[in-house]
Structure 1
Amino acid sequence: MSKTVLITGTSSGLGLETALAASHAGHRVYATMRDPGKSSALRAAAEASGLGLEILQLDVQDPESIKTTVAEVLRREGHIDTLINNAGAGYLRNIEQASDEDINQVMDVNFMGVLRCTRAVLPHMRARKSGHIINISSVGGLVGQPFNEVYCAAKFAVEGLTESLASYVTPGFGVHFTSIQPGGITSEFANSVLKQVEATGGMLEDDYLPLLQRYIGNARARMGGDAYQSSAEAAAVVLACLEQEDPPLRLRTSAWSEGFCAFKTAADPDGRKQNEATIAATLGL
């Protein structure tokens, strides 16, 4: 069944590939990005494949932008079946070196952006008692990692938001929530994070430098192995999830990401058991 799908952050990487995959599968796709001037890659790929997806402006940091775009999609389609909160920004730096401005920016894009977009579509989904909100999180939303504490904190917050909403909005209104947790993706996202830290002070000569150099060296080495998957491979997992009638609460996108999070997920890989237990304990349902 064809769905109306709204996706954030589609100018490149996973967002771009998810927009193409969903459109190719026959869904009505509204691909959004903060700067439509960066839509050339998506437009070219869509045109080459004969896909009719729509491209709109949406800045996850701007509530008015979100409100306007959601209203426009609702005006055109009458409903939104699936929201995919994909827009995000990486950040690799120790909190002793990070400025408050940088920390606030990372939290705002990665967490508040998800919250704002979810809040914008939720009333319409509740009214229809139908819908699915997919949040692109990360293995960093389950497992804290060196020099990623700010990014991981934002993604942990996304996990808490997703899990909490699923504990009462799903049984009460039939709206589903899924957190998808990719590992490494071979895209400009990963490269830009490493380039940024190397070029803008992350390599400061301090006590952390040997550890940071080891981390970056290992991260670059993993790019050539099975730890990283392509954006298209991860997008195929997102597509399969949005097409499920009873989607999981949590989902990893590769064998590597499953293994990396194994200690956190072994007892409840898809999050259903904890969700059901929470609903029973708090709502008596």
Structure 2
Amino acid sequence: MKTILITGSSKGIGLSAAITLARAGNKVFASMRTPSNASAFKSLIETEALPITIIKMDVDSDASVTEAVNQIFKETDRVDVLINNAGIERHGSIEEMPIGEIQAIMNTNYLGVLRCTKAVLPNMRKNKRGLIINVASVAGHVASSPLGAYAASKFALEAVSEALAQEVKPFNIKVNIVEPGIIDTDMAKNISQPGDSIYPQSFRFAGLFSASLETPTSPSLVADLMLDLVNKETDILRHPVGPDAIPFIEWRASMSDEEWVNWNAANDDEWYQSVEEVFGINARRKN
């Protein structure tokens, strides 16, 4: 049995991971901003007698992270695995997105990961053992409008995870990056709803996500990967997950930067036709 801390456990991938890892016999601390809203989760824990403790943590706050981790160390002497899953999404063009929204994305998706990592690393180094799983995204490899600000946070997370892996390996601590594609979560559903914009990419990407969600990929697929990583303790750094993850990363890698910019800047007819030819997806919104 391993002791696992998961951030952002109230829904989606985090919730699925907490349940999956606990059912496998691990002790899970499932953190979230508002535990009072997790009544269904609490009922499941009680019904199945799962080894899960729900704790309050806001990864945007130094004090909240410190308080939550201190609470954990009052109950146990170690954290074997940290899963940095908490994240937010805002979509829109660079011009139209308020600076405050961009700062919020970076604070949660990048700095939040660093806060939690810095809080548990001393314990892992002392024990000379640990695993840190950072949930990035295909968007950590592929920058597309209207997800520019979100992609920036995931590119940053990819970079710092790669550097962290180098630093902690001598202490027998491993770092894995999980890179989901389009997963059936509230975040993906939010992207599938276009906002008002002077730029066409917002509407087009909404159609792409909406079409992809017609054959949804469950968050349990990501949770199963996390369980596998916890059990195997692999040195492999990056782990794309989902049926569209590797194809999309490879497709972007096959294009020059100029080709990629031109594809995203194409007119609507050319863009929709290309998506249908490459991925077999009709991204034109039915309405």
With normalisation by structure 1, the TM-score equals 0.85
Partner Cα separation in structure 1 for residue 35 and residue 160 of structure 2: 28
Partners in 1 of 2:182 and 2:43 — Cα distance? 26
Q: Where does residue 206 of structure 2 map in the other structure?
A: 216
Deviation at 1:39, TM superposition (A): 1.4
How many residues matched?
A: 254
Query: Secondary structure at the residue paired with 1:167?
Result: helix
Aligned match of 1:56:
55
Q: CA, structure 1 residues 265+7, in 2 after alignment: closer, same or farther (shift >3 Å)?
A: farther
Matched letter for residue 224 of structure 1:
E
Farther off after superposition, 25-34 or 40-49: 40-49
Give the match for residue 244 of structure 1: 232
CA displacement, residues 148-205 of structure 1 (integer Å, 9 cap, x when unaligned): 01000000100011000111211x211110110001111222223444xx4xxx313x
Residue correspondence of structure 1 range 72-87 to structure 2 within 5 A: 72-87=71-86
Gaps of 5+ in 1: 267-285
Asked whether the equivalents of residues 25 and 51 of structure 2 are also in contact (C-alpha less than 8 Å), the reply is: no
| Percent identity over paired residues | 35
For 1:174, the equivalent position in structure 2 comes to 172
Query: 2: CA distance between counterparts of 1:149 and 1:12?
Result: 24
Write the letter of the residue equivalent to 1:246.
Answer: T
- For the 8 Å contact 2:184–2:219, the answer to whether it is kept is yes
Cα deviation, residue 95, structure 1: 0.7
Kept in 2, the 8 Å contact 1:12–1:41? The answer is no
Question: Hey, what's the Cα distance between the residues in 1 that align with 2:69 and 2:140?
Answer: 27
One-letter amino acid of the structure 2 residue matched with residue 203 of structure 1 = D
Give SS of 2:134's match: strand
Taking structure 2 as the reference length, the TM-score comes to 0.84
| Secondary structure of 1:217 counterpart | helix
What is the match of residue 181 of structure 2? 183
Rounded to whole Å, the distance in 1 between the matches of 2:140 and 2:99 is 21
Write out per-residue CA displacement over residues 228-279 of structure 1, whole angstroms, 9 at most, x where no aligned residue.
410112211111111113342110112321211125789xxxxxxxxxxxxx
AA aligned opposite 1:235: A
CA–CA separation in structure 2 for the residues paired with 1:265 and 1:246 = 25
Cα deviation 1:92-140 (Å, max 9, x = unaligned): 1111001111110011011010011001111111111110010011110
Structure 2 partner of 1:24: 23
Match of 1:258 in 2: 246
- The CA distance in 2 between the partners of 1:264 and 1:191, in whole Å, is 23
Q: Find out whether 1:157 has 2:184 as its counterpart.
A: no
Structure 1 SS opposite 2:17: helix
**In structure 1, C-alpha distance between the alignment counterparts of 2:173 and 2:252, rounded to whole Å:** 26
The equivalent residue for 2:45 is: 46
SS in 2 for 1:10: coil
The answer to whether the Cα contact below 8 Å between 1:92 and 1:194 also exists between their aligned partners in 2 is: no
Q: Which moved more, 1:127-136 or 1:250-259?
A: 250-259
CA RMSD of aligned residues (A): 1.7
Q: Which runs of 4+ in 1 moved over 6 A?
A: none
Structure 1 residues 248, 41: CA separation in 2 closer, same or farther (over 3 Å shift)? farther
- What's the CA shift for 1:58? 0.6
Residues 190-221 of structure 1: CA deviation (Å, up to 9, x unaligned) = 223444xx4xxx313x2x1x332222122211
